[in-house]
Amino acid sequence: MKSLIVYSSQTGNTLKLAKVIYDELKGKKEMFSIDEAPSPEGFDLVAVGFWFQGGKPDPKAVAYLSKCSKPSRAFLFSTHGAAKDSAHVKSAMDYAVGLTNGGAIAGMFTCQGEVNPKVLEKVPVPALAAGF
């Protein structure tokens, strides 16, 4: 089994998840920042991690996920400011799955990350907790 872990992370939250996934995966594995990631072709499992921007996966992840269609098996993971069980998170993850265009989804994991204080100045905390 040959796995590829690709992460998009601006402030480090998603990178923390990527490192845990890397440590836990068995078999051959490689991990790259999304800026340096190879094509997902040829890997048995491709784990793609991203943060949310504007209610969607961040733009770099949107571009990469579009390359993860058949026959790659994708595991999606993300961090976000909104509450884990919110409609906001479900909608963004559904959007991410849609981008894989029929690629098999091996699993998903999401959790709240720390939100940059500059973002919180513009978006009050209760709004984030309510899922924007």
Ligand X SMILES: Cc1cc2nc3c(=O)[nH]c(=O)nc-3n(C[C@H](O)[C@H](O)[C@H](O)COP(=O)(O)O)c2cc1C
> 77-96: which residues touch ligand X (CB under 6 A)?
79-82, 88
Q: Rule CB under 6 A: choose which of 44, 53, 62, 69 binds ligand X.
A: 53
In the bound state with ligand X, the residue whose beta carbon lies nearer, of 26 and 118, is: 118
Which of positions 18-37 make contact with ligand X (CB under 6 A)? none
E strands present in 9-127? 28-33, 45-53, 56-57, 73-80, 104-112
* 8 A C-beta contact, residue 83 and residue 125: no
Quickly tell me which residue has 């993860």 as its tokens: 68
Comparing C-alpha atoms, which of 83, 32, 102 is closest to residue 61? 32
Position among 3, 34, 46, 51 found at the interface with ligand X (CB under 6 A): 51
And the tokens for 51? 């943060």
With contacts defined by CB under 6 A, name the span among 33-41, 45-53, 67-75, 101-109 that binds ligand X: 45-53
Task: Give the footprint of ligand X on this chain (CB under 6 A).
Answer: 9-15, 51-55, 79-82, 88, 113, 115-116, 119, 132
